[in-house]
Structure 1
Amino acid sequence: MGVYALASAQELVTINGKVTDESGDVIPGVNVYAENGNNKTTTDHQGNFSLSVPKTTLTIKFSYVGYITASRNINQNKEKITLNISLSPTKSDLQQVEITGRKEKTYKNTATFIGSKSEILLKDLPQSVSYASKELIADQGAVRVGEVVKNFSGVNQFTFYDDITIRGFRINGGSNTQLINGMRTSTGFWKQPLANYLERVEVLKGPSSALYGNASPGGVINRVTKKPLAETRKSLSLSMGSYNTFRALGDVTGPANKDSTLLYRLNFGYEDANSFRDMQFDKNLIIAPSLTFLPSKNTSLNFDLVYNDSKSRLDRGQSVFGNGNLYSTPQSTSLNTGNDHLNEKTYNVSLSLNHRFSENLNFTASYMKTGYSEDLYEHRSANTYALDATGKSVDNLIAMQIFNRIRKRYIDNFSGFINYKLKTGKIEQTIVAGYDYASEKLPVGASQLTATNYRNAANTGSISFVKSEYDKDPTNYIKKFLVVNNLLVPNVPSFNLNDVMASQRMQDDSKNFFTQAAYDPTYYFLNAGYVQDNIKFGKLQALLGLRYEYYTDYSNYLKPTQATANSKALLPRFGLVYSAITNINLYGTYVMGYTPQTASAISNPNAGGPFDPLKSNMIEFGAKTSWLDERLTASAAIYQIKQKNVLYNANVVGQPDLLRSVGEERSRGIEFDIIGRIIPQLSILASYSYNEASITDSPIASEIGRQKPNAPHHTANIWAKYSITSGILKGLGIGGGSNYVDSRILSIDATQTIPSYTLFNAAFYYNVGKVQVQFNMNNITNKVHWVGGYDYLRLFPGTPSNYLFTLGYTFN
C-alpha cells in the first residue's frame, strides 16, 4: 500500500496553454504556479506556458502585476491538459501609499508615489524619474546607493560619502532633503548604509519643493523600503569577495495570521569588509522590520523601522604630491592612523495610516522620526600642504588636523493629505490637499575638539600662519612660530607622502594642543500647506500644484542671545501630459524650488553666514513611451535649471569650512532612459545624458562660464541580463554592462580636473531549485579612475578590479 501511494504521488500532469488579456493580446512574464506546491513557470514572449505538476494538485494560479490573479481547477484524471486564460486588469483606483510589497520580479516598474503624493503611472507624471528595482540592484551585486546611481541618467557620485550630483547639482545625506518612503530624512552623510532593505531607489529629477519643501534643484532621492507581502517568501544569501569582504543578508515576509490581515517583513544584514584603501574597514549591522495591518478593505496601517549600526574609519580621500600629478601616489593611500574611528548609529521609524472613506475620498497620514549619533575621531588633511619658514608649500608634506566629535541629530516630520476624485462630464480630477511639518534638532551635548595649525615659538599652543602678515614683516612675523629645519612645526605632525607607513602609525595625540570648537545646539522647523489638482480631459492631463512653506530657524539656540529667523516661499508647479498615441505620452513642466541656508540647515557652525536662501526653477519637456506589449519603456527629456545664491568654499587659510556665495548657476541638458525586457529572457537598462552645468553670474568675473565641480558633460550606462529558461542549460544566466563618466573639474577655480573613465562589469548566475549561485566581476579591465573629489588633496578613487561570490537560498 505504501509503495502504491508513493508511485501515485510521483505521477505528473502536464498543463499547456496561453495567457492573454481581455482584448486578446498575449501577456508575457505571467507567473503560473501550483497553489500547494513549488512547481512554477512564466509565460514566454508569445504568452505560452508549459507546467508539470503532481496529480495531487487541485488548483493552478496565474498572477501578473496590473491584473487580477486568476485560479483554475484541473482535472486530475488527465495526463495532459490545455488551459487558456484571459486575465482582467485591476481596478483603476490606485492606492494612496505604498501599502504592500511589489510582486514584480523584473527591472521594470510601472508606477511611482514620489511624483504626486499618491500612486501615479510613470507615463502620466510630467517630470523625469529614474529608478532601480531590487532585482537590478541584486543582479549587479550593488549594496549601496552610491553604486546604484550609476544606472541613472544625469546622476553621478561626488565623493565616497552619501553625496551625489544630479543634473550638475550636489545633494548629500547630511541634510534632511533625502527621502525614505516619501518622508524627509538624513542618512548621516559619512557612510552609506547597506541597501538590502530597499525595494527600489528612485530619483525625481528637478526641484521638488512644491511637494517636499526645501530640496536640491537637481532632484531628490527616494529610498523605498521593502513592504510585507501577502504570500510567504524567505531568502538568505552569503557573499564573499575582494578585500576580505563577508556579507550575510536575509529577507522574510508573509502573513502573520490566518486571514492575512497582519503582514510582516524582516530584512537584516551584516557586513565585515576591508577596502583597497589603506586603514579602511566597514562593519555594519542593519535590521529593518515592517508590519502592515489591514483591519478592513478600506483601512491600512504600516509600521517601518530601519536601524543601522556602523563601525568604520572616515575616509577623506587620496592626496597627491604638490606637483599636481594624479598618479604620484598610490590610490590606496589614505591619511588615517590606527587610532581613528567613526561609530555611527541611525534609525528611521515611521507609522502611516491610509483610510478610504468612499470610492472617491482617501486620507493618508504619516509620521517619521530619524535619530542619528556620531562618535568620530579622525586624522585628516587641513586641505593644504605644510609650510616652510618662508610660507612656501612643501610638496610632499600634507598639513594635518584632528577632529574629535560627538553629536546627535533628530529629525521629525509629519505629512497628512486627502485625495479626492471627481468626474464632471468628460473631465476627471484628482485633488490632493495636505499639510507638512518637519523639524531638525542638534541637541545640547554636542562637542568637538580640534587640533590644527602650527606651534607658537614658546611651544605652548597653536596659531595659524597668515601669508599676508608674513609678507608685511617676514623677520618679525616668523618669530611667532616654532621653526625646526626651516619648517614651521605643525601642531599635528604632517603626513609625509615619502614615508606613508610611518605617517599612518598610531600616534600619541596627547602632545597636541586641542581647542574646543563651537558646536552650539541648532533647531529649525517648517510648516507647509499645499494643494494639487490632476485634471484629465481626453488625451490631455494637467498637473497643477501650489505649496506655501514657512520656515523658522533659531540662531544661538538656547543661548541668552537666541534669535529667530523666518523665511517663507510660495512654490508653484505646472505640468501637462498629452497622449499622442496609445504608447507615447508627451509632457512639459515648470517647477520652482528653494532651500534655506541657515546655520541649522547647513549643519556646520564654521560655514559662516547668514546666507540668502537658494532659489531655483526648472523648465522640462519630454516623452515617455512603451513598446513590445508594455515590456519595454523609454523616456527622453530636455531641461533647463537655474539656481541663485549657491555656496562654495571660500578657500580662506585657517578656515577650511568657510563658505561664500556666488550669483547664479544654470544647468541645461538632455537625457535618455530605457528599461524593461526585449524578450522575457532578456532584461536591459540603458541611459545617456548630456549636461552643461556652469556658473552664469559671480562677483568674480573669471568664474563666469566655468563648469560646475563634479558635473560631467556626458554620462552613459548599459546593463543587460539574459536567462536561459529551458533545455540542458536551464537556470543559467549572464549579465554585463558598462559605465562611462566624462572628465570633471574638482573646484570652482577649474585648475584641477579628473579624467573620464569607462568601466566594464559582468556577472554569471545559476539557479538550481531553491539555490542560486552568483558571481560578479566589476571593473574587469582594472581601470584607474576617480569617482569624484574636492581637490588634489581630497580625491576619491574608484575601486580597482574586484569580485563578489554570492550563494543564495530561498525557502517557503
Structure 2
Amino acid sequence: MHLTSIFRSILLPILLVIPTFLHAQQTVVYVEGYIKDQEGKPLPGSSVTVDGTSFSTSTNNKGYYRLRIQNGKLTIRYTFIGFKESVRTITVQNNSVEENITLESRSDALQQVEITGRKEKTYKTTSTFIGKNENQLKDVPQSVSYASKELIADQGLMRVGDVVKNFSGVNQFSVYDDLTIRGFRVNGQTNTQLLNGMRTSTGFWKQSLANYLERVEILKGPSSALFGNASPGGVLNRVTKKPLDESRKSVSFALGSFNTLRALGDFTGPATKDSSLLYRVNVGYENAESFRDLMFDKNIVIAPSLTFIPSDRTRINFDLVYTDSRSRLDRGQPIFGSFDLNSTPQSLSLNTTNDYLNEITYNASVSLNHKISNNLSLNASYMKTGYSEDLNEHRTSNSYALDGNGAPINNLAGMIVQIRQRKRFIDNFSGYLNYTPKTGIIEHKIVAGLDYGSEKTPVGGSQLTASGYRNAANNGSIASYVVANKSRYLLDAAGNPVPNVPHFNLSDPISSQRMQDDSKDFFTQSTVAPAYYYLNAGYVQDQLKIGALQVLLGIRYEYYTDYSNYKTTTESKTHSEAWLPRLGAVYTIIPNINVYGSYVKGYNPQTSATIANPNAGGPFDPLKSSMIEFGTKTSWFRDQLTVTAAVYKIKQTGALYNTPGVTDVLRQIGDEKSQGFEMDVIGKIMPNWNVIASYSYNTAKILDSGIPGEIGIQKPNTPKNSANLWSRYSFIKGSLQGFGVGFGINYIDKRNLLYDAKFSPDNQLTLPSYTLFNAALFYNIGKLQLQLNANNIGNKKHWIGGYDYLRLFPGQPENYMLTLGYSF
C-alpha cells in the first residue's frame, strides 16, 4: 500500500483516537485566572507554560486563561512581551487552582550581542542582533524577514530552503542551498551567508538539518556596510540556539513519506549550581529516500553550545555545528528536446547507482561580550569553517547528443563523469565596541570595529573528468564535436560521433541508471586549483535618536586581497577596495507606527577564491550595487502582531551567469535592476491564533548583456508575484483543549530559466505558476505532543526552480510527516 494511503486510512484515525484515550486515563484539573498589568488592564496574548511539559496556553482578550494540567508540583511561567516574567510554583492534588497574575513592565537595557538563548515560544520576535547590537526590528531602517523555531517546528520544516517560503521576495533558485532575494541570487557556494552574524559557507549541494536553529532571518538589500561582500538582494543569517538558564529537554521522532525517519534532541540548562556555566546540545539524525530516482539523504548533526558567565559584566560563548551528510548529488530533471516539461517524469534523474556525495562541514566559534562600563562594551568573535567533499557523479553536459551533421538528438542527453575531492577553510574575526552615550537631547548607539576574513582551498584537491567524444583511434577524447573535422572522431554505424561517456537515453532511463563501468572512459586529471583570499575592514556606525526621529549613519572601508594562481610559480596578488556607506532614518509617528527610508551600497569581489568552482573561469570584476528603500513598520494588538511594508529599487552591475553551451564556465554581464513592493505580517490575531503572511511584487530585469535575447526579460527564477499564508489555531478550553490546527497556502508566479543562446527567445523555457495547500494537526497532553503535517495537499505538479532544459528541479508531491515529541 502507498504510504499516503497508509496515513489516510490508518495513522490519521489513530492520531484522532489517541487523545480520547489519554483523556480517559487521568483526572482533569486546571489552573486558571487573569493576567493583568500594574494598572489592572488585561494582557491578552500572555503566554502560560509549565516547565518540563508541553502544557501551554495564552490569555484571551480579557486576560483570562485556563490551562489543563496534571497532579504534582509544577512550576508555571507567565510571560508577555515588554513585561517581566512571573514564575509560580504550585502543588496540584486532584483540584483545580486559581492563579491571578500581575506583570510588571520592564525597561531592561538591550543586550549588546546575542549570547544567551531566547525563552519566548512564539512566532514573533521583537529584536534582532544582525546590526552588530540588539535593535528593535521596528527601528531598523531596512526590511527584515524572519522565522522562529516555533514556526519552523509547526510547519514540520527541516531545510532553510523550505523555511524561506514564509518570506516576501525570497524563493528557491534550485534544490540546493541556493536562493533569490528580490531577484538576486544568494547561495552557499560564496561566503555571503551568515551564521550568528559571521560570514560562512555551506556545502551548497545539500542543505543540512535546521533543528539547531533558533531562527532564520534576512536583512533585505545590500548589507556590505555591515558585513563586507554580500549579495545586493540581502543577507541570510542563521541564528543557532543558545543555552538557557532554565532546564528544558525534549526529544522527537518522525516518520513520513519517502521512507523518512528522523530523530531530534534538544537539551539545555545550567551546568553548575550557580548558573555560571550554561549548556545546550542539539542533535539530529535523518535517513530518508526521495520521490527522485536514486536519491537519498543520511544526515547527522551535532551542535553543542556553552555559555560561561564569570560575572555580571562578562559572558563567553562557544558554539559548534558539525554535520555529516551522505547522499547523491541531484542535478535535476532532464526533458526532451521538444522542451515539454511533461515529456519525462519528475522523478527522473541522470544518476547511476555508483554515484555518491559525502560531505562534512563544521562551524566552530568563540565569542566574548565584556561590559567595560554602563554604556561601553567590547565584543569579539572568531569562527572557523571547514568543509570537505568526496564526489562521484554522472551528470549532464548541459546539452543533447549530436548526430553526424551536428544536429541535436532530442532523446539523448550528453553526459559527464566527475570524480572530485576538495576541502575549503574559512576564518573570520570580528571585534567591535558598542558605545551608547547621550549628548544633550541626542541618544547615540555607536558601533566601531574591525573585521578580518579569509578563505582557502588548500593544495591537494583533485578532479577526474570524462566528457566529450572519442577520437578516431579510440585512444582518447575530444572536448566537443565539430562537423568540419568529422574524420577525427570515432563514428557509430549511423555515422554519429561516439561519446566518451555513454549518452543517457531519456526514452529508456532504467538502462542508463544502472551501475556504469567508468573504467572504459577516458579521463583527464586536473588539480582543484588552490585558492586564497583575505580581507581587512574597518567600520563605524551611529544610530542617533532625537525624540521621535532616528538617523543611521555608517561607513565601512574594505581592502580585499586575492591570490591569482595561488601556490604556483606564477602566483600574484590582486587587490580591490571599496568605501561602503549606509544611510537610514526612522520616524515614529505614534508608538506603534514607524516609517523609514534608507540608502545602501553593496560590493562583492568575484574571484577564483570566492566562486568556489574550479571550472568557472575568472577572476571577474567586483559586483557593485546600490539600493533605495522606503517603508513602514507597525504593530497591533499590544505589539502582538506586526505589519511591515516596503518599496525598493536595487541596481547592480557585474553579475555572473552560465555560458551557453559550455559546462560550468561563467560570464559577466552589465546592469540589472530590481524594483517592487513587499508586505509581511507576523504574530497573533488572537491569543490562541498565530499567523504569518507575506506578499511580494517584483520586476527584476537584465538591462545589459552580450546575449541580446536576455535584455529586458525577467531575471531567472524570479517570480513577479508571490504570496504566503500560514495560520495555527489552538483550542484553549472545552473538550478540544490541547488540540490545534494549522493551514497554509503558498503561491509562486511563473518564472524564466537562464536564457540559452542556442535557442531562440521564443523557446525560452518558463516554469508555470503554482499554488500549494498545506495543513497540520496538533495535540498536546502533558509532556507529550503529537503532530501530523500534510504538504502539497492535492498533489500539485510544480517546479521550484531550474537552470536549463536538462536541469529542472521539481517540487515534492503530496507528502505526510507524523511526529511524536516528548518534553521533560
What TM-score do you get using the length of structure 1 for normalisation? 0.94
2:640 aligned to which of 618, 627, 631: 631
Task: Give SS of 1:787's match.
Answer: strand
Asked whether 1:668 is paired with 2:703, we answer: no
Give the letter for the 1:794 counterpart: R
Return closer, same or farther for 1:364/1:450 CA change in 2, 3 Å cut-off.
same
1:124 aligned to which of 128, 139, 162: 139
Asked if the contact 1:719–1:738 (Cα under 8 Å) also holds between the matched residues in 2, the reply is yes
In the alignment, what sits opposite 2:690? 683
**Counterpart Cα distance in 2 of 1:54 and 1:738:** 36
Asked if the contact 2:412–2:505 (Cα under 8 Å) also holds between the matched residues in 1, the reply is yes
Give the letter for the 2:793 counterpart: I
In the alignment, what sits opposite 1:614? 623
In the alignment, what sits opposite 1:328? 343
Asked whether 1:808 is paired with 2:810, we answer: no
- Deviation readout 1:705-730 (Å, 9 max, x if unpaired): 12111111011000011111111111
Task: Give SS of 2:161's match.
Answer: helix
1:482 aligned to which of 479, 485, 490: 490
Return closer, same or farther for 1:83/1:245 CA change in 2, 3 Å cut-off.
closer
Task: Tell me by how many angstroms 1:86 deviates.
Answer: 3.1
**Counterpart Cα distance in 2 of 1:126 and 1:524:** 32
Return closer, same or farther for 1:232/1:426 CA change in 2, 3 Å cut-off.
same
In the alignment, what sits opposite 1:27? 43
Task: Give SS of 1:195's match.
Answer: coil
In the alignment, what sits opposite 1:583? 592
- Deviation readout 1:312-352 (Å, 9 max, x if unpaired): 00000000111111100000000000100000000000110
Give the letter for the 2:776 counterpart: A
Asked whether 1:316 is paired with 2:323, we answer: no
**Counterpart Cα distance in 2 of 1:720 and 1:293:** 38
**Counterpart Cα distance in 2 of 1:516 and 1:183:** 36
Asked if the contact 2:55–2:780 (Cα under 8 Å) also holds between the matched residues in 1, the reply is no
In the alignment, what sits opposite 2:169? 154
**Counterpart Cα distance in 1 of 2:41 and 2:487:** 88
In the alignment, what sits opposite 1:194? 209
Asked whether 1:279 is paired with 2:294, we answer: yes
**Counterpart Cα distance in 1 of 2:656 and 2:127:** 36
Asked if the contact 1:36–1:57 (Cα under 8 Å) also holds between the matched residues in 2, the reply is no
In the alignment, what sits opposite 1:5? none
Return closer, same or farther for 1:104/1:656 CA change in 2, 3 Å cut-off.
same
Return closer, same or farther for 1:758/1:735 CA change in 2, 3 Å cut-off.
same
- Deviation readout 1:108-147 (Å, 9 max, x if unpaired): 1110111x21110000100001011111111111100011
Task: Tell me by how many angstroms 1:61 deviates.
Answer: 4.9
Task: Tell me by how many angstroms 1:297 deviates.
Answer: 1.0
Asked whether 1:592 is paired with 2:577, we answer: no
Asked if the contact 1:706–1:748 (Cα under 8 Å) also holds between the matched residues in 2, the reply is no
Asked whether 1:104 is paired with 2:120, we answer: yes
Task: Give SS of 1:277's match.
Answer: coil
In the alignment, what sits opposite 1:66? 82
Asked whether 1:85 is paired with 2:95, we answer: no
Give the letter for the 2:696 counterpart: S
In the alignment, what sits opposite 1:550? 559
Task: Tell me by how many angstroms 1:430 deviates.
Answer: 0.8
**Counterpart Cα distance in 2 of 1:256 and 1:622:** 45
1:46 aligned to which of 62, 81, 86: 62
- Deviation readout 1:455-507 (Å, 9 max, x if unpaired): 0000010002354xx3xxx3xx1000000022210000000011100000001
Identity percentage of aligned residues: 62
Return closer, same or farther for 1:22/1:360 CA change in 2, 3 Å cut-off.
farther
The unaligned stretches of length 5 or more in structure 1 are: 1-9
Asked if the contact 2:176–2:206 (Cα under 8 Å) also holds between the matched residues in 1, the reply is yes
2:568 aligned to which of 550, 559, 562: 559
**Counterpart Cα distance in 1 of 2:631 and 2:375:** 31
**Counterpart Cα distance in 2 of 1:86 and 1:233:** 25
Larger RCO (CA within 8 A; separation ≥ 6) = 2
Task: Tell me by how many angstroms 1:20 deviates.
Answer: 2.5
**Counterpart Cα distance in 1 of 2:103 and 2:487:** 87
Q: Give the count of matched residue pairs.
A: 792
**Counterpart Cα distance in 2 of 1:180 and 1:33:** 30
Asked if the contact 1:612–1:645 (Cα under 8 Å) also holds between the matched residues in 2, the reply is yes
**Counterpart Cα distance in 2 of 1:40 and 1:301:** 32
What TM-score do you get using the length of structure 2 for normalisation? 0.93
Task: Give SS of 1:707's match.
Answer: coil
In the alignment, what sits opposite 1:727? 734
In the alignment, what sits opposite 2:703? 696
Task: Give SS of 1:657's match.
Answer: coil
**Counterpart Cα distance in 2 of 1:540 and 1:304:** 37
The unaligned stretches of length 5 or more in structure 2 are: 1-25
**Counterpart Cα distance in 2 of 1:18 and 1:245:** 44
Asked whether 1:769 is paired with 2:782, we answer: yes
Return closer, same or farther for 1:78/1:660 CA change in 2, 3 Å cut-off.
closer
**Counterpart Cα distance in 2 of 1:436 and 1:295:** 26
Task: Tell me by how many angstroms 1:50 deviates.
Answer: 4.4
| 626-635 vs 19-28, greater mean Cα deviation | 19-28
Asked whether 1:755 is paired with 2:768, we answer: yes
Task: Give SS of 2:606's match.
Answer: coil
Asked whether 1:644 is paired with 2:657, we answer: no
Return closer, same or farther for 1:402/1:582 CA change in 2, 3 Å cut-off.
same
Give the letter for the 2:487 counterpart: K
Asked whether 1:525 is paired with 2:526, we answer: no
- Deviation readout 1:507-529 (Å, 9 max, x if unpaired): 11000000013421100000000
Task: Tell me by how many angstroms 1:77 deviates.
Answer: 14
Asked if the contact 1:429–1:534 (Cα under 8 Å) also holds between the matched residues in 2, the reply is yes
Return closer, same or farther for 1:119/1:23 CA change in 2, 3 Å cut-off.
farther
Task: Tell me by how many angstroms 1:308 deviates.
Answer: 0.3
Return closer, same or farther for 1:21/1:395 CA change in 2, 3 Å cut-off.
same
Asked whether 1:373 is paired with 2:388, we answer: yes
Task: Tell me by how many angstroms 1:380 deviates.
Answer: 0.1
In the alignment, what sits opposite 2:316? 301
Task: Give SS of 1:478's match.
Answer: helix
**Counterpart Cα distance in 2 of 1:479 and 1:463:** 12
Asked if the contact 2:52–2:248 (Cα under 8 Å) also holds between the matched residues in 1, the reply is no
In the alignment, what sits opposite 1:436? 451
1:737 aligned to which of 744, 754, 777: 744
**Counterpart Cα distance in 2 of 1:105 and 1:87:** 18
Task: Give SS of 1:510's match.
Answer: helix
| 33-42 vs 346-355, greater mean Cα deviation | 33-42
Asked whether 1:788 is paired with 2:801, we answer: yes
Asked if the contact 1:708–1:748 (Cα under 8 Å) also holds between the matched residues in 2, the reply is no
2:256 aligned to which of 224, 238, 241: 241
What are the within-5 Å matches in structure 2 for residues 116-265 of structure 1? 116-265=131-280
**Counterpart Cα distance in 2 of 1:486 and 1:56:** 85
Task: Give SS of 1:536's match.
Answer: strand
Return closer, same or farther for 1:558/1:780 CA change in 2, 3 Å cut-off.
same
2:719 aligned to which of 712, 722, 735: 712
Return closer, same or farther for 1:725/1:508 CA change in 2, 3 Å cut-off.
same
In the alignment, what sits opposite 2:427? 412
Task: Tell me by how many angstroms 1:51 deviates.
Answer: 6.0
**Counterpart Cα distance in 1 of 2:271 and 2:361:** 27
**Counterpart Cα distance in 1 of 2:417 and 2:518:** 9
**Counterpart Cα distance in 2 of 1:624 and 1:390:** 62
1:510 aligned to which of 499, 515, 519: 519
1:463 aligned to which of 473, 478, 485: 478
Give the letter for the 2:750 counterpart: S
Task: Tell me by how many angstroms 1:93 deviates.
Answer: 1.3
Asked if the contact 2:54–2:781 (Cα under 8 Å) also holds between the matched residues in 1, the reply is no
**Counterpart Cα distance in 2 of 1:176 and 1:488:** 42
- Deviation readout 1:634-669 (Å, 9 max, x if unpaired): 000000000011111222x4x312221111000001
